[in-house]
Structure 1
Amino acid sequence: MADPRGLATLPPIRGRVQQAAPLAPFTWFRVGGPAEWLVRPADMDDLLLLLRDLPDQVPLAVIGAASNLIIRDGGVRGVVLRLAGKGFGDIVLEDDGIIAGAAALDAVVAEHAAAAGLAGLEFLSGIPGAVGGAVAMNAGAYGAEVKDVLDWAEVATPRGLLRLTAAEFGFAYRKAVLPTRGVVARARFRARPGQPAAIAVRMAEIRAAREATQPVRARTGGSTFKNPPGEKAWALVDVAGCRGLVRGGAQVSEKHTNFLLNLGSATAADIEGLGEEVRARVLASSGITLEWEIQRIGEVMP
């Protein structure tokens, strides 16, 4: 049988390679179809080998904590890459910063910094994701963004490992520019000496604010839409009458209207379709086209 995408010639890495792998359990929404191939490299060398020898015609998608992601019901063709485990989760403290692997959770990085008396990274405790994704989308919360604290990040590419400064990522609002088929592998964040008590208070404030305003215990995907210039996405959604709006098993959160929820029976099509309905209603109400912040990958079911 012909193999036009070259999947039969996947590089012989030491990590785990799984065919027709379920992806829904990895996502915060708990929806979506399988990966044609799910690849979890053992370490950096394994990742570099995979990227170097993976045929160009094989599609490549990268998922991390999958907290801000919809995987469509038809699944994802080609290779889905997931960095996890000791090879990509290490956290190293330095006097004026912290180095973290791509799989390290943002909140855990903030906790390590706080325990070491390093200030300036408290905002990471309010970002539900991992370091790799935070760099790749210039994640931000509570008045700060990754671009404000990033010294450098190492990006694995088919040509080898690159260390890029913050300026080289071309950061913009919820956006970074990565090399072709580049995968963030680890990053260094600047910090400054601080008073542990003051750092703890700030992190407690962030946790309390999230609990009070966001559906943190629901099956959700974080902020759904980017804030348009000079506007708040949640307010536009609210004015358009979308608070509590339901489509299939999906709902616009009544607690925070920039969050979509899986009520328990939603499909990816329900969630994405609800988001598109919200966008249409906001456009009709305000003349503003909301841009998705949640990433959407994969195939729509026929």
Structure 2
Amino acid sequence: MSESGSEDDEPTLTERATPADEPAKAGKPPKKKRPFWVELPILIVIAFGLTFLIQTFIAKVYYVPSGSMEQTLHGTTSGGDRILANKVVYDFGDPQPGDVIVFSGPPTWAPEARIPGPSNWFGQVVQSLGSVVGIAPPNEKDYVKRVIATGGQTVMCCDSTGNVVVNGHSLDEPYIYEPIEFIPGQLDCTTTQMSRRCFGPITVPDGQLWVMGDHRSDSADSSYQCQGLPAGSGAQCQGPIPVDNVIGKAVFIVMPPSRWGTISSPDLDAGW
């Protein structure tokens, strides 16, 4: 007879208890998976929250309300482009001539689009949510224009060929659409019958920008209210905007899909 505690009394490998044989720990029942109809609202809230943060600090989608930037950007009469404005790029430098920017118009600027607000609380909620993803009508005081001159530069129109001039340099602007008529010697900036393109010269104050729409005959921009009037007439242009009013640089057309593409920003003062 073997002694107590001998190796014959040791359980074999197959006899030893396995984790599967051990009872489940008390107080920790298996987790139940939430049904999809419960998870869906949570996912929607998270998605809207992330979208809000991205559009507040990094980039935002804007609706183009008017035709002032045709053909570069289509306004509501041509479908209404949605554009992506980079809000970070100007944290590392100021806007440059040629950039297409989104900005808040000064209080004295005339709105280019009359946009009636919602008449009830439900409409206001829908508009607020829609503005987060760029599908709601835009703020009537937000504008999209191209930078033509920066602080310290002198801008005027026009030279003998009808081009805008900055610091004595004639600008090459291939993006201009349907410019106002200009006929040297007949309808220009030196004759009695002055072209409506003519304005200035005007020196842009430091910390400000002279901006114009690509559709020069249909843009309430910096030159608005003084075009077609000789220098010294006393006419006051709508004028430049503060750099601090700039929201971001327009970099991409995101809607409609047929219009997907980058927004060009030629270097207008290259080689000066």
- Which category describes the TM-score, using the shorter chain as reference length? under 0.3
* More helix as a share of residues: 1
Task: Compare CA radii of gyration and give the structure with the larger one.
Answer: 2
Structure with the larger RCO, 1 or 2 (CA within 8 Å, 6+ apart): 2
**With structure 1 as the length reference, what TM-score do the two structures score?**
0.22
